[in-house]
Amino acid sequence: MSVLLSAGLIAGTNAKATENTNPFGLVYDGAVTENVAGKVNIHPTTYKLHSLNIAANIYTPADYNASKSYPAVVIAHPNGGTKEQVAGLYAQRLAENGYITIAADASYQGASGGEPRHTDKPAYREEDIHGMIDYISQYPGVDNNRIGVLGICGGGGYTLKAAQSDKRLKAVATLSMFNTGRVRRNGYQDSQLDTVQERLSKAAEARAEAVKTGRERLVGSMAGVTDEQAAKLPFDLYREGFQYYMRTYAHPNSTFEYTESSLMDLMTWDATDQIELINQPLLMMAGEKADSLYMTQDAYNKATGTTDKELFLIPGATHIQTYYVPEYVNVISDKLVKFYDEKL
């Protein structure tokens, strides 16, 4: 099971995902089901990023008027997640409060283009965020001086990196931030420090194999894991994530499989490297009971380049519960609106 733990959770297709009748494929609670005049509308779109087709959803506020001026927020989804899950939930919540928002599938993942599939390189994920900014900055009604970002889980770690250089972002927020490089390198809660070199060697071997055969070796799948096995996983993030991604909020495009050769990039990357370059207002949110909280606390303490920063803990919440539990979602949404209203 240690290989699975180092890889993280894996989502899969289940009955709820295949029977989903939402016309936009959205799987979160309270999702838009149709575009109605005077209400929040959703606009599925595609755009090019380095020759790849990126699939995204744009959410516009009620009574949207292209001739008016609106703040905007770009939203980076969790590792293995899609724009139709928690990223879409918060995109819709912010749109309900007057923001134009965008949630896009990462390159090589979800409904976006890119081969080999499931390539998971930090540079690509960072560029995805820059690309969302590129696109939304040209969207009718968006005020380019009022663009913010929200990064969730793994998207939060990549957001911290993207914000270091992209000063088009005027306000930076993360939720349940997951430092993918640290976890891939050290294991969750630094539990695999004794196998770092072994796993790096396997990643290099996987790259050599791909060059020779043209086939990428994939890791991280939990497709065959049963509910009983998942219940015995040692961390809340993995136990609850299994339920979220494989049972209650599954989406057919959501998978945590990734190419093993990607670990050559992932294991030498860290969300907190040069984090002092962030000088924008920074809000870092996490569940009070999240076993991933240590990553948010570490990044927050290292973010010395901004004096306008806040660590906000959601009382009683674990990592995955911040994705869907109504009472926590309401607290987080209210905090985000207050933050962006003040900073944008």
Q: What are phi and psi of 342, to 5 degrees?
A: -80, -35
Q: For the chain, give me the number of helices (H) and strands (E)?
A: 12, 10
pLDDT 10s digits, 269-325: 999 999 999 999 999 999 999 999 999 999 999 999 999 999 999 999 999 999 999
Separation CA 133–CA 235 (nearest Å) = 34
Q: Note the pTM of the prediction, 2 decimals.
A: 0.94
Cβ contact 296:217 at 8 Å? no
Q: What are phi and psi of 168, to 5 degrees?
A: -65, -20
Geometric angle at alpha carbon 77, from 170 and 334, rounded to 5°: 60
Q: Round to whole Å and give the CA distance between 177 and 153.
A: 4
Please state the φ and ψ torsions of residue 311, each to the nearest 5 degrees. -105, 115
Phi, psi of 291 (to 5 degrees): -80, 0
Distance between CA atoms of residues 153 and 118, nearest Å: 18
State pLDDT tens for residues 181-211.
999 999 999 999 999 999 999 999 999 999 9
CA distance 198 to 206: 12
For residue 223, give the 3-state DSSP assignment. coil
Mean pLDDT of 27-38: 97
